[in-house]
Amino acid sequence: MSQGHTRRRTLTLIGATGAGLVAASFGAATDDHGGDEDDYDDHDDYADDEHNEQPDELARVRAAHLSPDAPNVDVAVDGDAVLEDVPFRAVSDYLELPVGTANVAISATEDPDTVVFDEDLELAEGAFTIAALGELAGENQPFAPAVLEDDLSDPGEDARVRLVHASPDAPAVDVTVEDGEMVLFEDVAFGDAGAIEVPAGDYTLEVRPATECNDGDVVAEFDVSPGAGNVYTAFAVGYLEPDAAPADEPFDLEVVLDAEGDGGYDDDRKNEDGCDTDDDHDDGY
């Protein structure tokens, strides 16, 4: 929403789907959801055995439980319980883990004999959000993990905001402000993620079904106030029609502060144009 960019800001895909890291990041939950990244600090398995120091290459991983009809879960890494009773909508803190192999097991909290995941995973260097998407019932979207690569670099005087579409019954969406005069995200389908940089300030986000010229009816509005230099992710979760869904979880936007200032990770961004815009506006960014 910087000046001169008042019609077209197309999302930039920055993640890829896959199961390789899905469970590992559940171990970094916040205190609000029953876990603490400091729990890992006492485990010798995640330190250098000889020098009791962290290795040079680290994976920064976190988890987002975005499957509205999935139960709360418990998580173990290399046989150690690291998190209990993780609910829908929970987004963990980042946890630093050594690059390499870790065994991860996930079980239903209320039925520990029901193990929904138990595999050796390869953890890659970098920063990632591992999101559990879709539904166990599969009525709208199948249950599947998605791996999003996170850009935690310092946006300077602006704020970086990423949108992750995780609402199983919502169509592809456009996100606008100022009664559609500014388009922030365009044609974001379920499972997609995209990021933009905007000046710090107060905004009312307008979520619309995607149309060619971004003029669909507004189905939800959310007030946000991004701060300068901060990095955020806004997770669109729940159902547009919860009464007809497998779980009574209404549509909402969960906004999480990813980083303050310099996070040290960069990504390449590209632009695409959509509908014709006024000649006096610069359509790229």
Each residue's pLDDT tens digit, 225-264: 999 999 999 999 999 999 999 999 999 999 999 999 654 3
Tens digits of residue pLDDT in 36-53: 333 333 333 433 444 345
Most confident of 49-53, 113-117, 134-138, 220-224: 220-224
What's the chain's average pLDDT?
75
d(CA 152, CA 230): 9
Under a CB-based contact definition with an 8 Å cutoff, are residues 232 and 207 in contact? no
pLDDT at residue 214 is higher than 90: yes
Which pLDDT score is estimated for 56?
Answer: 66
What are the boundaries of each domain within the chain? Answer: 15-260
Q: Please provide the distance, in angstroms rounded to a whole number, between the alpha carbons at the two ends of the chain.
A: 10
Tens digits of residue pLDDT in 76-122: 777 877 778 889 999 878 878 788 887 767 778 888 887 766 777 77
Q: What is the enclosing helix (H) or strand (E) of 115?
A: strand 111-123
Which pLDDT score is estimated for 197?
Answer: 97
Please identify which residue in the block is written with the tokens 């955020």.
232
Angstrom distances, CA of residue 56 to CA of 25, 46, 234, 263: 19, 12, 31, 17
Tens digits of residue pLDDT in 64-78: 889 999 888 777 777
The amino acid occupying position 240 is L
Which pLDDT score is estimated for 88?
Answer: 93
C-alpha 48: how far from its chain's center? Answer: 30
Under a CB-based contact definition with an 8 Å cutoff, are residues 182 and 253 in contact? no
Instruction: For residue 62, give both structure tokens.
Output: 């976190």
Please identify which residue in the block is written with the tokens 């005069």.
181
Q: What is the enclosing helix (H) or strand (E) of 187?
A: strand 182-188
